[in-house]
Amino acid sequence: MFYREAGQFKASYQADQQIFPIVQDRVGIAIVIAVAALVIPVIANEYWLKAILVPVLIFSLAAIGLNILTGYAGQLSLGSAAFMAVGAFGAYNFMLRIDGMPFLVALVLGGLAAAAVGVLFGLPSLRIKGFYLAVATLAAQFFIVWALVKFPWFSNYSSSGVITAQDIVILGYTFDGPVAKYLLTLAIVVVLALMAKNLVRTSTGRAWMAVRDMDVAAEVIGIRPMRTKLIAFAVSSFYCGVAGGLYAFTYLGTVEPEGFNLDLSFRILFMIIIGGVGSIMGSFLGAAFIVLLPIFLDNVIPHLFGNLFSASFASNLQLIVFGGLIIFFLIVEPHGLARLWQIGKEKLRLWPFPH
Amino acid sequence: MEFKKTVMLGALVAGTLAAGVAMAAEQFIGLPSYRVGAYAAGGSGIYGGWIDYMNLINERDGGVGGVKLVWEECETEYNNARGVECYERLKNKGETGNSMFSPLSTGITYSVLDKVADDKIPLVTIGYGRTDAADGRVFPWVFPLITTYWSQATTMIKYIESKEGDLKGKKIVLLYHDSAYGKEPHAVLDRMAADKGFTVEKIAVAHPGNEQQSQWLQIRQIRPDWVILWGWGVMNPTALKAAAKTGFPRTKMLGVWWSGAEEDTIPAGSAAKGFTAAGFNVAGADYPVIKDIKKVVYGKSLGNMEDESRVGSVYYNRGVVHGIIAVEAIRKAQEKYGKGKALTGEQIRWGYENLNIDDKKLAELGAAGFMPPLKTSCMDHEGSGKVKYQSWDGAKWKVVTDWIDADKQMVRGMIEESAAKYAQEKGITPRDCSKEM
């Protein structure tokens, strides 16, 4: 009922090819973006903007990056955090070493640097698959973090190996308040997410999915696996790189190479597994789940049980509940939260008269 | 009639409550603790000791200058993003907002380094964190108190010198955790090696460090006179065991303070015997302050430690040191800004900058010999630079030296150099300390 596509005729190629062909989706996305851009900055306080919304957006972007590689092109990767590190250190160095470098250009250059590194570590994907490829990308994870610590040039000879992000100035305006940083992050994430949504429908995206589903068959029908896989690595690392740049510039301000460790890579992988492999919206849902749930539990559990437990037990209990919920969701819906949303849509189509 | 009585009674109760609230000012301290994960031993010990000390102050003295200490923990899991969330969550709690932030994690320290100046909350990193923040002119809000990694490295060389006499021609191996933390002492040791004519070989151990065969093979080939262990977590007992296997005497091994807790030596068993490590506090439950905690806090079953036998361990006592310094900073700030009310982070920052915990004061606190005397100023946010060395006798840590001073002159020069570079990069004009009071 709410989601009836019947009667929505596409009379032109343009109408047929738009990103959201159904009017409900278009309206829904427009409302979500409008609320995020206009309402939230007014009602949310500093805590929500700085500590909750900005990281959720940034991790969503990183999850989109990994989703392109793993969800669409079928190449398992454990190096997402390292590609984020390349983006962060890249953007920092471009800003530092080139006078008058605009922030957005530095961010994109950082992303491109990550893409180049991604392609390099994507080369083994031409010969190996599945878990073996995961091990090869694991090498990227360790190598990049090691290199950033080993060669002090990357951190401008800082004795502790950390970098401090420069101020963000765009067209003479300094983005320093929580609202400004949130809006900047939101704008970049929205643009890149829409681009990703569009990209996966193009011939490139369809080639990725063909390679994912059966690479021999894809090759037989004329898709070049090497090119396809390497483009997937490049685009995915670009997204992770931009996410890393934002992580350093709009979120933490000061980052160390060890912050981009294997743990973070796993967290991003969990985000797409929980959110939905092969879904752009799933990346957002997964990032929100993985970032917000532990914070929610940390707020609720100590108050719920008061002094019943010791602090150590309460802390461990959070992890137990968190792990339990992940398993619960995967049993209930192995295809992730995005699939739940799809089921919801189908129900709404029939509502109020289900079969 | 009945109704009127109820109303009056209600008003009376409300009045007393309001008066009660108005009378008891509360100073809020947000604790970004970690009690799960790989570093839980350190987190639960240090935050446990800190909480126990604050309970002692509340129960025995009725708070600091009549102001009760209240706190709330926030679990960071030693994760930077969670640490930032905790920082933001805690910063506006309590009457006057958070008084101080001590994350016990260098990563989280860096993540909030820029934020504390905006929010006016002192960032207190005792024994870790950003070394050049000891220059208070560039970093007014950051307090790497007692000893930085650089200071500690100079005391290690001094300790070795006291054992060996002349260091000319000696070989020292630095076995370090391959991370930003492990690279902290490199520059200092290189400079001291050039000054004193010894050689330093730096050997990295990849995180987590539970495999060190090749490193110890290398050490056996080098045949060093001393090995400095700059380790963390499981790397420490592994190094001790590997040393025993290689036949390198543990009495010639020297650890940084992250390598010198019971959690580092007990897993190594007998291999740890004779190992010496630095510490800005000592182990032991015989100090009056620890005895008081046992009597007052654990006597009323208010203790934070699940395992009471950890009271008096290295990590626990380190937490008590955190508590002592926090309480003294609040006390100092109260002298200037008034007793009996909750102070803001900005006022407590002044307290931290003007700390003067001398031997007499330490004796009053029941902590003589427990931690070094501490005197901070606008210029110097480190305030002490002293560490003691303790040896593991197979069952417990035994203090083997008095407080050893750092080579302040050299470290200070390097700190100012690095801080000036940071100030230039960030466009900060350093404060003029002659105008501060």
Tokens of residue A49, six digits: 């903007």
CA atoms of B212 and B216, how far apart (whole Å)? 6
CA atoms of B381 and B143, how far apart (whole Å)? 5
B35–A315 CB contact, under 8 Å: yes
pLDDT at B12: 46
A52–B85 CB contact, under 8 Å: yes
Helices (runs of H) and strands (runs of E) counted in chain A: 16, 4
CA atoms of B136 and B142, how far apart (whole Å)? 7
By C-alpha distance, which of B181, B400, B383, B190 is closest to B278? B400
pLDDT at B434: 83
pLDDT at B23: 54
B75–A315 CB contact, under 8 Å: yes
Do B378 and B431 contact (CB within 8 A), yes or no?
Answer: yes
Total domains, chain A: 1
Nearest chain A alpha carbon to B115: A253
- One-letter amino acid for residue A301 of the chain: I
Tokens of residue A120, six digits: 């390099």
B180–A255 CB contact, under 8 Å: no
**pLDDT digit string, tens, across residues A243-299:** 999 999 999 888 888 889 898 999 999 999 999 999 999 999 999 999 999 888 888
Do A122 and A78 contact (CB within 8 A), yes or no?
Answer: no
pLDDT at B22: 46
- One-letter amino acid for residue B280 of the chain: F
- One-letter amino acid for residue B344 of the chain: T
Is B204 strand, coil or helix? strand
CA atoms of B337 and B331, how far apart (whole Å)? 10
Tokens of residue A323, six digits: 């792990």
B106–A160 CB contact, under 8 Å: yes
Q: What percentage of chain B reaches a pLDDT higher than 70?
A: 95
Q: Return the minimum-mean-pLDDT range out of A5-9, B62-66, B91-95, B129-133.
A: A5-9
All structural domains of chain B with their residue ranges: 25-147+283-375, 150-279+390-408
Nearest chain A alpha carbon to B114: A253
Do B50 and B320 contact (CB within 8 A), yes or no?
Answer: yes
Domain range enclosing A90: 44-261
pLDDT at B1 over 50: no
| CB < 8 Å to B92, chain A | 47
State the Cα angle at A64 between A63 and A65, rounded to 5°: 85
DSSP letter at B380?
Answer: B
* Residues, chain A: 355
Distances (CA, A) of B423 to B123, B131, B137: 18, 14, 10
Name which of A160, A255, A315 is nearest B130 (Cβ-Cβ). Answer: A160
Task: Determine, yes or no, domain membership for A266.
Answer: no
pLDDT at A109: 97
Do A276 and A282 contact (CB within 8 A), yes or no?
Answer: yes
Task: Determine, yes or no, domain membership for A246.
Answer: yes
A51–B425 CB contact, under 8 Å: no
Do A251 and A51 contact (CB within 8 A), yes or no?
Answer: no
Instruction: Give me chain B's average pLDDT, please.
Output: 89
| CB < 8 Å to B73, chain A | 302, 311
**pLDDT digit string, tens, across residues B393-420:** 999 999 999 999 999 889 999 999 989 9
B109 to chain A, closest Cα gap in Å: 9
CA atoms of A93 and A112, how far apart (whole Å)? 13
pLDDT at B373 over 80: yes
pLDDT at B425: 81
| CB < 8 Å to A55, chain B | 81, 84-85
A59 to chain B, closest Cα gap in Å: 11
Select from B46, B51, B86, B111 the residue whose CB has the most chain A CBs within 10 Å, as the one to mutate to test that interface.
Answer: B111
From start to end of A165-222, where are the E strands?
Answer: 169-170, 173-174
Is B352 strand, coil or helix? helix
Task: Determine, yes or no, domain membership for A319.
Answer: no
pLDDT at B235: 92
| CB < 8 Å to B45, chain A | none
**Which CATH homologous superfamily contains domain B25-147+283-375?**
Response regulator (3.40.50.2300)
Average pLDDT over residues A131-152: 90
pLDDT at B289: 95
Element (H, E) at B350: helix B345-353
**pLDDT digit string, tens, across residues A306-353:** 666 777 788 888 889 888 988 888 888 888 899 988 888 888 888 887
Average pLDDT over residues B91-119: 90
CA atoms of B85 and B79, how far apart (whole Å)? 10
| Per-position DSSP letters for A26-61, written without gaps between them | HHHHHHHHHIIIIIHHHH--HHIIIIIIHHHHHHHH
What residues of chain A have any CB closer than 8 angstroms to a CB in chain B?
A: 46-47, 50-52, 55, 146, 149, 156, 159-162, 164, 251-259, 263, 291, 294-295, 298-299, 302, 310-313, 315-316, 318-319
**pLDDT digit string, tens, across residues A217-255:** 999 999 999 999 999 999 999 999 999 999 999 998 888
A21 to chain B, closest Cα gap in Å: 37
Distances (CA, A) of B420 to A97, B417, B425: 19, 5, 9
A255–B89 CB contact, under 8 Å: no
CA dihedral B409, B415, B416, B421 (to 10 degrees): 150
Task: Determine, yes or no, domain membership for A316.
Answer: no
- One-letter amino acid for residue A134 of the chain: A
DSSP letter at B64?
Answer: B
Beta bridge partners of B143: B124
Tokens 């010791």 correspond to: A310
pLDDT at A307: 66
Select from B74, B75, B79, B211 the residue whose CB has the most chain A CBs within 10 Å, as the one to mutate to test that interface.
Answer: B75
pLDDT at B21 over 50: no
Average pLDDT over residues B83-107: 91
B84–A302 CB contact, under 8 Å: no
Tokens of residue A345, six digits: 């849509």
Average pLDDT over residues B139-160: 93
| CB < 8 Å to A146, chain B | 178, 206
| CB < 8 Å to A99, chain B | none
Q: How many CB pairs under 8 A join A and B?
A: 111
A311–B33 CB contact, under 8 Å: yes
CA atoms of B132 and B134, how far apart (whole Å)? 5
Distances (CA, A) of B57 to A40, A219, B102, B286, B345: 43, 74, 19, 19, 20
CB-count burial class (<10 Å; 0-12, 13-18, 19+) for B93: middle
B36–A316 CB contact, under 8 Å: yes
B6 versus B196: the higher-pLDDT residue is B196
pLDDT at A210: 96
A164–B107 CB contact, under 8 Å: no
Q: Percent helix, strand and coil across chain B, each rounded to 5?
A: 50, 15, 35
pLDDT at B129: 86
B111–A316 CB contact, under 8 Å: no
Count of CB atoms situated within 10 Å of the CB of B410: 16
**Pairing of β B397-399 and β B356-357:** unpaired
- One-letter amino acid for residue B61 of the chain: D
Beta bridge partners of A254: A164
Task: Determine, yes or no, domain membership for A336.
Answer: no
By C-alpha distance, which of B115, B30, B84 is closest to A55? B84
Task: Determine, yes or no, domain membership for A199.
Answer: yes
**pLDDT digit string, tens, across residues A162-215:** 888 888 989 989 998 899 999 999 999 999 999 999 999 999 999 999 999 998
Element (H, E) at B30: strand B26-31
| ipTM associated with this complex | 0.85
Task: Determine, yes or no, domain membership for A283.
Answer: no
**pLDDT digit string, tens, across residues A1-59:** 577 777 888 889 888 888 888 888 899 999 999 999 999 999 998 889 988 999 999 99
The class level of CATH for B150-279+390-408 reads alpha beta
